[in-house]
């Protein structure tokens, strides 16, 4: 693995950093308080190529690799986890699924508009009764000649209401059998497809999370991705890439919390000295940066394997598991370093603290990551 970042990665990171400082930072708390999903910001990021980072140039994307993708997610998440989460869901879940499993005609139809963010993407696997046990889904797609009829509800879907294009995994076979689900692309506006309840969340409040409802939603077979029965298998591959982005989101949140704490610890005086002079504080900072750099290395390792198209299931799960737990630990310590001020909305660390918790849950909980890692090392 190459540890030295290439010029292109540094340039892309700088672009994302500048954009986040100028167009996201000033509004972070306003969007958080009101739970406003700032769609316009994603349209602007589309113009910079940040909504189609991994999409080849021939389909209108930036044609970059996972190292650049990780850098973009990290830079944005240092400023706002919500925007980082939505960026990740659009790039690696919806767009990523189409990029990996759509046929040529589907790629030409969807990728350019997703890469420019003319269309915002959503990806629906989870349901009210099946989260970790996603293979046991209840949403069905029943064949009717050249069409499929979808019925059921997906929940916790990032952009469940605002998404223009949704990739949906639905059951096409008997429950609890292998190869019983299939992936479809559903356009917003298709009769029988609607957004449902928007969640009122602890953190990530500017990232829209909502239900997607299918009520006798009829779609043509040309909207099916890959073979009938391959849906869950495809989803697991998509999640390998997605988990790298959640690891990057976690590292970004942790870095944001750490950098704020480092600065504050030098400026805040107690007992006539900066609090950074107390070993109780400086050791916290030492633990924070050590864990962040370890999490970043695991993330870069997974990104490097993904770029080389090598098996990455274990490494992506390790990066996601470790980095997300680090984000929670670091942002918890950050609130502690800020003391009472850390408990208020006048300083950024309470938001990092709230946002970080999603990272140990979304795209597979920490317990599920450990299951994935254990399965890989014991096979």
Ligand X SMILES: Cc1cc2nc3c(=O)[nH]c(=O)nc-3n(C[C@H](O)[C@H](O)[C@H](O)COP(=O)(O)OP(=O)(O)OC[C@H]3O[C@@H](n4cnc5c(N)ncnc54)[C@H](O)[C@@H]3O)c2cc1C
**List of residues contacting ligand X (CB under 6 A):** 89, 93, 123-126, 131-132, 156-158, 204, 209, 358, 361-365, 367-368, 371
Residue 132 vs 273, nearer CB to ligand X: 132
Q: Which of 291, 350, 363, 367 is catalytic?
A: 363
For ligand X, the closer of residues 342 and 364 by Cβ is: 364
- Token couple for 299: 């993330």
CA–CA separation, 100 and 238 (whole Å): 8
Name 258's Cβ contacts closer than 8 Å, sequence gap at least 6. Answer: 285, 288, 289, 292, 330, 334
Q: In the bound complex, what is the minimum distance in angstroms from residue 211's beta carbon to ligand X?
A: 11
Q: Which of residues 58 and 367 has its CB atom nearest to ligand X in the complex?
A: 367
Q: Inter-axis angle of helices 231-267 and 279-307, to 10 degrees?
A: 150
State which H helix or E strand residue 154 sits in.
Answer: strand 147-158
Which pairs count as long-range contacts for 344-347, CB under 8 Å and 24+ apart, including other chains?
345/29, 345/33, 347/260, 347/264
The span from the CA of 248 to the CA of 241, in Å, is 11
Q: Which is nearer to ligand X, 89 or 330 (CB)?
A: 89
CA distance 340 to 349: 11
Q: Supply the minimum distance, in Å, between the C-beta of residue 130 and ligand X.
A: 7
- Residue 181: exposed, middle, or buried by beta-carbon count in 10 A (0-12, 13-18, 19+)? buried
Instruction: Name the minimum Å distance from CB 158 to ligand X.
Output: 4
Total Cβ atoms within 10 A of residue 227: 13
Verify whether residue 127 is a known catalytic residue. Answer: no
| Closest residue to ligand X: CB criterion | 131
Characterize the bridge pairing of strands 147-158 and 140-144. antiparallel
**Cβ-based nearer residue to ligand X, 202 or 286:** 202
Bridge-partner residues for 149, per DSSP?
142, 218
Query: Whole-number minimum distance, CB 281 to ligand X, in Å?
Result: 32
**Measured from the CB atom, is 254 or 359 closer to ligand X?**
359
Give the end-to-end CA distance of the chain in Å, rounded to a whole number: 25
Tokens of 216: 């006798």
Q: Rounded to the nearest whole angstrom, what is the least distance from the CB of residue 274 to ligand X in the complex?
A: 37
Q: How far is the CB of 128 from ligand X (least distance, A)?
A: 8
Length of the chain: 379
Element (H, E) at 196: strand 193-198
Active-site residues, by number, are 363
């Amino acid at each position: 693995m190459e540890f030295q970042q290439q010029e292109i990665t540094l340039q892309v990171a700088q672009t994302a950093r500048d954009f986040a400082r100028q167009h996201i930072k000033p509004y972070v708390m306003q969007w958080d308080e009101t739970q406003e999903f700032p769609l316009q910001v994603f349209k602007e990021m589309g113009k910079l190529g940040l909504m189609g980072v991994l999409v080849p140039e021939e389909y209108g994307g930036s044609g970059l690799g996972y190292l650049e993708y990780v850098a973009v997610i990290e830079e944005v998440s240092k400023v706002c986890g919500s925007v980082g989460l939505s960026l990740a869901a659009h790039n690696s879940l919806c767009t990523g699924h189409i990029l990996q499993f759509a046929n040529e005609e589907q790629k030409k139809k969807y990728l350019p508009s997703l890469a420019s963010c003319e269309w915002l993407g959503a990806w629906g696997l989870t349901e009210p009764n099946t989260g970790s046990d996603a293979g046991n889904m209840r949403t069905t797609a029943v064949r009717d000649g050249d069409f499929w009829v979808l019925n059921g509800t997906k929940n916790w879907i990032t952009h469940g209401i605002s998404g223009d294009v949704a990739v949906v995994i639905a059951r096409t076979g008997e429950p609890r059998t292998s190869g019983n689900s299939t992936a479809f692309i559903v356009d917003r506006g298709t009769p029988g497809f609607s957004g449902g309840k928007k969640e009122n969340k602890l953190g990530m409040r500017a990232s829209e999370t909502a239900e997607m409802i299918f009520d006798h939603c009829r779609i043509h077979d040309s909207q099916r991705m890959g073979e009938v029965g391959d849906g869950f298998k495809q989803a697991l591959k998509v999640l390998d890439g997605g988990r790298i982005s959640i690891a990057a989101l976690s590292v970004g949140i942790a870095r944001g919390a750490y950098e704020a704490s480092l600065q504050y610890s030098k400026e805040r005086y107690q007992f006539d000295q900066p609090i950074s002079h107390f070993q109780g504080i400086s050791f916290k900072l030492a633990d924070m940066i050590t864990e962040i750099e370890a999490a970043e290395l695991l993330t870069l390792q997974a990104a490097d394997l993904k770029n080389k198209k090598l098996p990455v299931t274990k490494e992506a799960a390790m990066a996601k598991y470790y980095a997300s737990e680090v984000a929670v630990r670091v942002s918890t310590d950050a609130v502690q370093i800020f003391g009472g001020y850390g408990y208020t909305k006048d300083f950024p660390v309470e938001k990092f603290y709230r946002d970080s918790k999603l990272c140990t849950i979304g795209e597979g909980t920490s317990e599920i990551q450990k299951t994935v890692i254990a399965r890989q090392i014991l096979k």
